[in-house]
Amino acid sequence: MKKIIPTLFILLLAAQSISAQIAVKNLQVEHRRKPIGLDVKQPRFSWQLTSEKRNTMQSAYEIRVAKKEADLKRGKNLTWSSGKVNSDQSVYVKYAGAELESDTKYFWQVKIWDNTTKSSKWSEVAFWQTAFLDNESWQAEWIVPGYEEDTVQRPSPYFRKEFTTAKSIQSATAYVTAHGFYEAFINGKRLGDAWLTPGWTSYKNRLQYQVYDVTSHLQGGQNAIGVSLASGWYRGKLAWKDGINHFGKDIALLFQLQITYTDGTEAIIKSDNTWKCSTGPIISAEIYDGEVYDARKEIQGWYQTGFDDSNWSKVTLKDFDKSHLIATYNEPVRKKENFQPINIFKTSNNELVADFGQNLVGWVQLKVKGKAGDKIDVYHAEVLDKEGNFYTTNLRAANQKNTYILKGGEEEFYEPHFTFQGFRYIKIEGFPGELTKDNLTAVALYSDMEKTGTFTSSDSLINQLQHNIQWGQRGNFLDVPTDCPQRDERLGWTGDAQAFARTAAYNFDVKNFFSKWLQDLEVDQINGSVPHVIPNVLGEKAHGSAGWADAATIIPWTMYLAYGDTAVLEAQYESMKAWVEYIKSKSKNDLWNTGFHFGDWLFYRPDDDNSGRAAVTDKYLIAQSFYAHSTDLLVKTAKVLGKTDDIEKYKKLLKNIKAAYNKEYVTGNGRLVSSTQTAYVLALQFDMLPENLRQQAAERLVQNIKDYNYHLTTGFLGTPYLCHVLSAYGYNDVAYTLLMQKKYPSWLYPVTMGATTIWERWDGIKPDSTFQTPSMNSFNHYAYGAIGDWMYRNTTGIDTEESAPGYKKITIKPVIGGGFTHAKATYASNYGEILSGWEMTENELTMSVNIPVNTTATVYIPTDSREAVTESGKLLNEIKGIEILGMENDYLKMKIGSGKYSFKVAQQSE
């Protein structure tokens, strides 16, 4: 008899099939979603895959590109079709179609086949829009104020232009940049949501412009453009000794509007001698000193049509360079989190103070009602002193003050435009009436990096430490990796950046952020040597310090490991090589013992105990260690890029560097001339010692830690590697003891003192609540947050294999310890989210692991018995797709594919 399959069963099978089907999501071009203004002539495509089925891989892909979305969907009039390509590559696939055109939108989509030959549907349609692909596209002219400028306060100039559109508009795109900061409007609507544009680069070599889709801003008939400027990083006060005009004395605007009408014709509105200019309510604006805004001088309607600008001045044309103009590649600075005060109070000094509960970078918005001419001063500080009073001594020469002068009448709203502050507390003077929490909102500003990492544990102090690390990154990753956001500095210190780069890449997506900054590093190199800060505003003599300048090699390699993109190595290879060659030129017999070096900056030094045991590490020993490390990274990079001649050349050099190190700094018994934690950490991390001397060096390191009663003594250069070295040599228990140490010096000491960000010094606030040296005492200084890297890679065990970087091949190897009962981390890789979490009870260990589609993972389960492990309630030998690789150092090692896994390990009774 013929069997009849119930309709319900068929529907269930169909539903299962749909849920298991592979799909494509998160389409990106050059690591950005739907970017507008891309000047890359052969952009790369990336996508992620989703499937409920385990062990799913991509086996092939097909990409298609068209200028019109309708053509793309029909598969007609394509700019490029890759055809079916048999490959598991799903990141950074290079466009290979017809030559791209400037100022043009392209639509694209992708479909893929999995490892069972099943195909996905075509993905959603994504797009990118090109910027100017050649300098000839720029028709706009540089304009500067035509009036005589106040060279002391340097009030913000306001520019405007009216124009007419006579036809129906299809699209409109604005291209804008400036010498200084700018804020632009069309018909009263702000262009974009970015702040502090055009960002900070080495302006004489690379000046970014921004691209905006302004189709919705325009109207039929008369239109108006308005742009205000401020000195910004270009000519504003930077560094010390009232240094101004680092890149130029002028303040200038370049603006070009490309309009395409529905009939196919085009028009260009550009900055030229028909524009007008004046000054307005922004009396002064400086990064360090804040903004003065006089609302009585506001110009109603200045950026709208019909405004009478007959009293405005003409502009002056300038023949400034355009050849160095580049489209913006990194994420711009945007407004992020908002904070209301958690307390408003009077101090013992009768100061009116508001506490926002979080040390942050940004500004404060004011709502206020009062009389015309009422003046409100808002001062910013990170901490209160021992008596609870407002403390600004550590700001040095930075005023960090915004001033608002009321126009009177209805409630007024004010926020700064062209400055930023680092603060948790504000002091307000001159506020009319009673100040309430509703009057104040603190707005965080930082580069709009996607958050990629989370880390939580059973220990609340460690969770606060992770919070502090991430907020230190938020506050200091403000277009460049600044060292501090509050005092008269805020510079892109290279040493801080290289120390923190791997942690940064776990917490946030920093690929574009660092790619942009590294290009400025290269153009600012001085005969191969790397300046202390990038962009370099400290002069031609401030360069070449070991551990700082090595950012040239360390950060590109770190970005390659984190994102798996060889492009950063290709872009930076000559820079990396130039730095190594510079050191070589300063060395004698392969020993680098010349020049200025910061050394192990801000290491622990008990100046008041007279023990003579300060942790001073020989600066030339450090320099030789980093010389070797940079050379080693150059060799690795040459291998990735296939530069055969350089591989052998620098392998030989590396061997000689290590030989010179051992001859100069190591005794016959393996003792280092500097018997400090940092000396041994660098020797072991960079493989400076012969193998037969390494374990005893690790023992000496541990003994040193014990001698300091299980405290660290490392500074900026030793700290990032300290726990990694301990773990590598079998001392996870000591690494955890250091991590969990609550007394100074330690990572948790600032947490116990109420820190909400990472401090510059181990004891920025001393146990008696007094302060460290105020001239060098930032409370938002991310370098020591580098321990976050160890927490991700060891506590929860998430790492990438060097042979398949960017988490194409993942390692999950958690280290149980620290007294934690549970810990969990997630990381949003290029392929999707990775999860590793564990929980320990009296009877069993549970491990949760998520592996993205199109990747594989080597997973280590802490156990000494394979039979004690189950996955989703089944014995391992019952599960298809899990490959047991054997036991290794108290771990069961296995290989798995994509999917969600729940491992349980029964704890054996003693």
Question: Per the structure block, which two tokens stand in for 436?
Answer: 């309430």
Cβ contacts of 474 within 8 Å, gap of 6 or more: 336, 360, 361, 444, 446
- Distance between CA 180 and CA 230 in Å, rounded? 5
Task: State both tokens at 774.
Answer: 């105020």
d(CA 870, CA 894): 13
Asked whether the beta carbons of 288 and 170 are under 8 A apart, the reply is no
| Helical H segments across 666-731, by residue range | 677-685, 691-707, 719-728
Q: Which token pair is 323?
A: 């050849």
Q: What tokens does 381 get? A: 């500080």
| Known catalytic residue at 664 | no
Catalytic-labelled residue, pool 489, 664, 867, 878:
489
CA 503/CA 825 separation, integer angstroms: 13
Q: Which two tokens stand for residue 607?
A: 């100046």
Judge whether 583 and 630 are in contact, CB under 8 Å. Answer: yes
Angle between helices 511-524 and 551-563 (to 10 degrees): 160
Compute φ and ψ for 879, nearest 5 degrees: -110, 120
Question: Can you tell me the distance from the alpha carbon of 124 to that of 133, in angstroms, rounded to the nearest whole number?
Answer: 27
Answer whether 433's CB lies under 8 Å from 370's CB.
yes
- Phi, then psi, of 656 in degrees rounded to 5: -70, -35
Mind spelling out the 3-state secondary structure of 784-846? HHHHHHHHHHHHCCEEECCCCCCCCEEEECCCCCCCCCEEEEEEEECCEEEEEEEEECCCEEE
> b/e map of 614-625 (b: 16 or more CB within 10 Å)?
ebbbbbbbbbbb
| CA 715 – CA 567 distance, rounded (Å) | 32
Report whether the peptide linkage leading into residue 535 is cis, meaning its omega lies within 30 degrees of zero: yes
Whether residue 298 lies in the annotated active site: no
Tokens standing for 75? 């598969």
Pairing of strands 325-327, 207-213: parallel
Residue 221, CA distances (Å) to 11, 163, 169, 242, 831 in order: 58, 8, 11, 48, 48
Tokens, residue 430:
């001159």
Which residue bears the tokens 């009962």?
821
d(CA 162, CA 184): 14
* Cα separation values, 308 from 163, 302, 312, 608, 776, Å: 14, 8, 9, 69, 51
Task: Exactly one of 760, 802, 839, 888 is catalytic; name it.
Answer: 760
CB 203 within 8 A of CB 179: yes
Nearest to 599 by CA among 679, 667, 530: 679
Rounded distance between C-alpha atoms, residue 854 and residue 112, angstroms: 11
What's the start-to-end Cα distance of the chain, in Å?
62
Cα 600 to Cα 679: distance, rounded to the nearest angstrom:
9
Residue 898 near residue 852 (C-beta atoms within 8 A) = yes
Token pair of 181, please?
């900061």
| Number of neighbours of residue 93 by Cβ within 10 angstroms | 18
Question: What does the alpha-carbon distance between residue 51 and residue 28 come to, in Å, rounded to a whole number?
Answer: 19
Q: Give the catalytic positions in this structure.
A: 489, 760
